[in-house]
Structure 1
Amino acid sequence: MNAIKVAVLGLGRVGTSVGLALNRYNARKDARQQFEVFGFDPRSGIASAAEKTGAIQHVVRSIYDAAAGKDVVFVALPYAEVQTAFREIADALREDSVVLDASPLKRPSLEWASKLLPAHAHLVGVTPVVNPRYLFDGLNDTEHAAVDFFDDGFMLVTPAPRAAKAAVELATDFSALLGATPHFVDPDEHDGLMAATEGLPALLGAMTFYMLQRSEGWTDARRMGNPAFGQLTHHLVDTHPDDLRDLVLNNRENVARYLSETIAVLTSVHELLMHGDREGLEAALVEAYDTYQVWLAKRTSGRWDEKGAASQEKVSDTLMSGLLGGYITRRLRGDEDRD
């Protein structure tokens, strides 16, 4: 049986962790499929670093060559490069290939794909909500990739309208193999949620540093950076300014709404401080603390309702069991009869 050929485009923390998880499956004694992983990254030295972790078997220098003839193409590129990447890989995609797009925003990706990708390829958006053990840990770089990065987490799945049912099933099975429980989400709902949990935090961290480095006290304050400051501003280390720009600008209505609400809250806190309102400030902080503890417990356990954690179907010995007999599976399993 032929190996399933997977191209991972973008070898930061997410892309490299995908490769590590696939190779973990390859090492299983009961593995019924094997994955051959090809990696590409446009940034100098990143692909070589990913190869050293054992995440990929082949480093490919051209994005076109990386995608050419592959069964699955996993896109985890810096966000500002995704649209161009779609254009560059379009002619390389084989018939019925599945493109799993892990870009932080789904509505723009769906629009780009409809214009740039061929009809014979199937785009499915995927967004990892990662293993809770990594919630406070590490930068978004190759060095912090982990084989269990997706374990006990979720994969938000957003199929393109024209994606074949078999391609969507492949995406959910692929997510389960990585260790995540798949959940379907509407693209507009997805991007609204991402504004709150990704766009707003990134913007606040970057603009906090922007404000401080322009202030009169920066010459002295810059010597005092500790983990709290580093955690707040880490996007300026692991994310290119172009990617931050596009993350908030391409989702500007949602980000602006949350930013307005944040400004209103900060204005209220400013008033509490100016009036020395100890009780008012304490009430706000206690409410935030108590609610945060509830959220953290649920995020860690995955138990979001009274029914408990969502059951995750165990990846069967025959991966992609939902596709058995389907065109894509026959091709992946080496059956060249396409009639």
Structure 2
Amino acid sequence: MTEPRIVIVAVPPENAGEVVADGLKRYPRSIVVDVTSIKTKVVAKVRTLSADQGRFIPTHPVAGREVGGPASAQGDLFEGRVWIITPLPENQGADVQAVEDLILSLGATPHRMDPATHDQLFARTSHFPQILSTLLAGSLLKVEEGVELSGQGLRDMTRLAESDSKLWSQIISLNSEPLLRSIADFKSLLIELEVALSKMDHESIVEIIRKGQEGRKLISGKHGGKPRNYMLFHIVIDDRPGVLGELFALCGEAGVNVEDLDLEHSPNQETGLITIAIAPEQDEIFASALKDKGWRFHRSGGLV
């Protein structure tokens, strides 16, 4: 039987090193890649189990979801996403290029970095946000009543808390050292805010919020690029069948491209709010089309 050019190992992080080593043994002429969000511990495990690490190329597609299983699969999961490659000194350039070609064929953008830098970065930008979401959601168990009245902000911030607990316990345990540094840094920020509140130091509180706004601008925008300024249309929608179809049909008729959208619908309300981001040059065109059809809306600028 002809060996595959590339073997992809997609197993939980605690098993990845052993399965990669097995793949290197089973397919002695194939490239073997993993797709875990932890790199240094997986690489170390492979080094202890296999003398043929040159064909192992660690990778991490930044395209996870908070749900799993075949029923949650998406054919376009990697479209426009970043896919990290952390090449090892033993890797051959042609093999790394083959992996990058595979990534490009799936619609993703390859990006190279070393394993340690990867783990430090994702401790801060992925693993720690997961912990924050989990802890925030868990704190709601102490609220005796009224949680059901919460708005979209709380739903957004606790979405990650639905993630698989077994998988995430492995991730944060295997990346514990960088994660502990992120926790320490965040604790210092909480203390800074606590001190400012206790002293009613308004200027310090404003500065803390301003830094948060500046940090938000560093997050990538659409398709992983730099955030761009768009016109945001906040449109009231009725809770009835077909209303979203009518709105999107109007966008098509007006020739307006929807760059991004967000839908907010609180329970026990007969209306919702959809925010549609469009290019600034289409602002008046879309506004006129909405007015002609009687839609209720208001506009603002924002980064997407």
Is the pair's TM-score, using the shorter chain for normalization, greater than 0.5? yes
Give me the whole-angstrom Cα distance separating, in 2, the residues matched to 1:276 and 1:255.
31
The answer to whether the aligner puts 1:180 opposite 2:108 as a matched pair is: yes
From 69, 85, 89, the counterpart of 2:19: 85
Letter in 1 for 2:98: L
SS, match of residue 86 in structure 2? strand
Match of residue 116 from structure 1: 49
Instruction: Note if contact 1:157-1:183 (Cα within 8 Å) is conserved in structure 2.
Output: yes
Match of residue 267 from structure 1: 191
1:45-194 equivalences in 2 (<5 Å): 69-86=3-20, 89=23, 91=25, 93-117=26-50, 119=52, 122-130=55-63, 139-142=66-69, 143=71, 145-194=73-122
Give me the whole-angstrom Cα distance separating, in 1, the residues matched to 2:91 and 2:84.
16
Instruction: Note if contact 1:102-1:126 (Cα within 8 Å) is conserved in structure 2.
Output: yes
Match of residue 232 from structure 1: 157
Residue 124 of structure 1 deviates from its aligned partner by 0.8
Q: 1:214-271: CA deviations, max 9, x gaps?
A: x3x3x32554566433443344422233x32232222222111111110010111122
Alignment CA distance shift 1:278-1:90 (3 Å): same
Q: 1:98-149: CA deviations, max 9, x gaps?
A: 112111111111112223346287211112245xxx9xxx634355543333
Give me the whole-angstrom Cα distance separating, in 2, the residues matched to 1:284 and 1:207.
21
Identity of aligned residues (%): 20
Give me the whole-angstrom Cα distance separating, in 2, the residues matched to 1:88 and 1:94.
8
Structure 1: runs of 5+ lacking an equivalent: 6-68, 305-339
Alignment CA distance shift 1:79-1:284 (3 Å): same
From 195, 210, 235, the counterpart of 1:286: 210
SS, match of residue 248 in structure 1? helix
Residue 84 of structure 1 deviates from its aligned partner by 4.7
Give me the whole-angstrom Cα distance separating, in 1, the residues matched to 2:54 and 2:27.
7
Structure 2: runs of 5+ lacking an equivalent: 228-304
Letter in 2 for 1:71: R
Instruction: Note if contact 1:95-1:120 (Cα within 8 Å) is conserved in structure 2.
Output: no
Match of residue 302 from structure 1: 225
Give me the whole-angstrom Cα distance separating, in 1, the residues matched to 2:150 and 2:46.
42
Q: 1:171-199: CA deviations, max 9, x gaps?
A: 11111111222222111111110111112
Instruction: Note if contact 2:7-2:23 (Cα within 8 Å) is conserved in structure 1.
Output: no
SS, match of residue 233 in structure 1? helix
Instruction: Note if contact 1:153-1:179 (Cα within 8 Å) is conserved in structure 2.
Output: yes
Residue 297 of structure 1 deviates from its aligned partner by 6.0
Give me the whole-angstrom Cα distance separating, in 1, the residues matched to 2:160 and 2:50.
30
Ranked by relative contact order (alpha carbons within 8 Å, sequence separation 6 or more), the top structure is 1
SS, match of residue 91 in structure 2? coil
SS, match of residue 159 in structure 1? coil
Give me the whole-angstrom Cα distance separating, in 2, the residues matched to 1:70 and 1:152.
26
Asked which structure has the greater CA Rg, the reply is 2
Give me the whole-angstrom Cα distance separating, in 2, the residues matched to 1:90 and 1:224.
54
TM-score using structure 2 length: 0.63
Give the length in aligned residue pairs.
226
Alignment CA distance shift 1:291-1:232 (3 Å): closer
Alignment CA distance shift 1:234-1:154 (3 Å): same
More moved, 76-85 vs 165-174:
76-85
More moved, 102-111 vs 269-278:
269-278
Instruction: Note if contact 1:74-1:102 (Cα within 8 Å) is conserved in structure 2.
Output: yes
SS, match of residue 156 in structure 1? strand
Q: Supply the RMSD in Å over aligned alpha carbons.
A: 3.1
Residue 88 of structure 1 deviates from its aligned partner by 5.5
SS, match of residue 126 in structure 1? strand
Alignment CA distance shift 1:227-1:280 (3 Å): same
Give me the whole-angstrom Cα distance separating, in 2, the residues matched to 1:202 and 1:279.
30
Match of residue 126 from structure 2: 198
Give me the whole-angstrom Cα distance separating, in 2, the residues matched to 1:117 and 1:222.
52
Instruction: Note if contact 2:24-2:30 (Cα within 8 Å) is conserved in structure 1.
Output: no
